[in-house]
Amino acid sequence: MKKIICETYEEMSAVAAFTIAVQVQVKADSVIGFATGSTPLGTYKKLRELYASKFVSFSAITAFNLDEYYPIKRDNPQSYYYFMWENLFRHVDIKPPQINIPDGSAVDPEMECADYDAKLMAAGGTDLQILGIGNNGHIGFNEPNEKLELMTNLVKLAPDTIEANSRFFDNISDVPAQAITMGMGGIFNSKHILLLINGEGKAEITKKIFDGTVTATVPASLLNLHPNVTVIMDKQAAGLICD
């Protein structure tokens, strides 16, 4: 995996945003995999600026989001659908029919997962997949386990994920217990994966993904097996690894 260590979160966000923008400049109809969470917020802010300054247009891209809580309604401010519209989509010229986000209010979540995979496969996978990482090493909502799912699936969130994500909700009991997530196969079916990591709190898990081993108990460690991964970190996240 290629490492880029940045001085600050702002610098890291700019490097990530330019990487995405250049991908879209080179291939206007790129399929981009988007992630949520606090990590990519700076990247999306920079992308909005790049769009406003006419550096990039998203009019021909197709978007696939990694995951969504289940059950959750799209108009719930904690939904990832809402997050993507608030932080990126409503500010740029992406075409709404080209946006794919798992539907957290689907009556039949298994069918929703199968439909999502069919759309992702029909699009040929992603050209660029943005990823964050959970404190426990999850990517998307692929939680540490002895077995990992390849396909989009309905998962039960790990207690530490529910606790970590409760900071966005009024009460921990409001955090949905499940989520629909792209599986490891969907993530790996990307030509270029961009893993973003920031903050001292992620230093331990960052060390684990660079320790020379792979294990399903640290799902992000499997990214070592993908041929084209760029990890963009700030100094704090990279604090326990050797450059």
Catalytic position from the list 87, 138, 153, 189? 138
Is residue 65 part of the annotated active site? The answer reads no
Catalytic position from the list 11, 76, 91, 136? 136
User: What b/e sequence results for 124-137 when a residue is b if at least 16 CB atoms lie within 10 Å of its CB, and e otherwise?
Assistant: ebbbbbbbbbbebb
In angstroms, give the least distance from the CB of 161 to ligand GLP.
6
Distance CA 126, CA 100 (A): 12
Is residue 7 part of the annotated active site? The answer reads no
**103 Rama class: left (phi>0) / alpha (psi -120 to 50) / beta:** beta
Distance CA 41, CA 35 (A): 10
In angstroms, give the least distance from the CB of 57 to ligand GLP.
26
DSSP string, 1-23: -EEEEESSHHHHHHHHHHHHHHH
Distance CA 204, CA 201 (A): 7
Nearer to ligand GLP, 27 or 207 (CB): 207
Which is nearest to 93 in space by CA: 124, 130, 58?
58
Nearer to ligand GLP, 87 or 161 (CB): 161
Is residue 103 part of the annotated active site? The answer reads no
* Contacting residues toward ligand GLP, per CB under 6 A: 35-39, 66-67, 132-134, 140-141, 161, 165
In angstroms, give the least distance from the CB of 90 to ligand GLP.
20
Catalytic position from the list 65, 67, 103, 189? 67
Nearer to ligand GLP, 125 or 132 (CB): 132
- As given in the structure block, the two tokens for residue 66 are 């990694």
- As given in the structure block, the two tokens for residue 113 are 């997962």
Is residue 171 part of the annotated active site? The answer reads no
Nearer to ligand GLP, 93 or 200 (CB): 200
In angstroms, give the least distance from the CB of 30 to ligand GLP.
20
Task: List, by residue number, the catalytic residues.
Answer: 67, 136, 138, 143
